[in-house]
Amino acid sequence: MACQQLTVEDARQSLAGHLETKGQEIHTRFGPHLGWNKLQELLTDRNYVRYPCDIVFDAGPLEPGEFAHPEPKGERPEEGFNLHIHPFFMTQLERVPYLVLYQLVIVNYGDFATPEDAEAFGAAALGLSPDEYYHEICELADQLG
């Protein structure tokens, strides 16, 4: 019996399906409205967030116009990440989950994950269509000028 070799595209499709499923599970478990308190609970659930993550309102490590970015705390992912969120959003805690969910795909899957993966995951977790989630993310990013 010959083994069928998987392609990068096969792996991407598999990841996309996995991310949508995980996002739907988050929506069921932490939704229907994922607010600040539920977000904190989500960040400690290793079923959905592979490594420890802390939200830090600090623009220092962010590129101009960037709303958030995960930064490793050490050499190994197991040491955790700081999710740097632009301080502008400190007054919009109800919208911070949109920003964090986008970054969690990078924390969990690294560079293999694409922006489209992050959008699909965030949309599923919040019970939105990918287009609705993309619109919300763009609106948030636009607030930074």
pLDDT tens for 73-97 read: 999 999 999 999 999 999 999 999 9
What is the pLDDT at residue 71?
Answer: 96
Whether residue 2 lies inside any domain: the answer is no
Whether residue 1 lies inside any domain: the answer is no
pLDDT digits (tens, 9 = 90+) for 90-118: 999 999 999 999 999 999 999 889 999 99
Pairing of strands 68-72, 53-57: unpaired
- Please state, in angstroms and rounded to a whole number, the distance separating the CA atoms of residues 73 and 145: 29
Average pLDDT over residues 57-75: 95
pLDDT digits (tens, 9 = 90+) for 1-49: 566 787 877 777 878 889 999 999 999 999 889 999 999 999 999 999 9
Whether residue 7 lies inside any domain: the answer is no
What is the pLDDT at residue 3?
Answer: 67
Closest CA to 143 of 91, 82, 83: 91
Which domain does 125 fall in, by range? 15-142
Count: domains in the chain: 1
What is the pLDDT at residue 129?
Answer: 96
What is the pLDDT at residue 52?
Answer: 97
How long is the chain? 145
Is 24 within 8 Å of 81 (Cβ atoms)? no
pLDDT band for position 121 (cuts 50, 70, 90):
very high
Whether residue 31 lies inside any domain: the answer is yes
Whether residue 6 lies inside any domain: the answer is no
pTM > 0.85: yes or no: yes
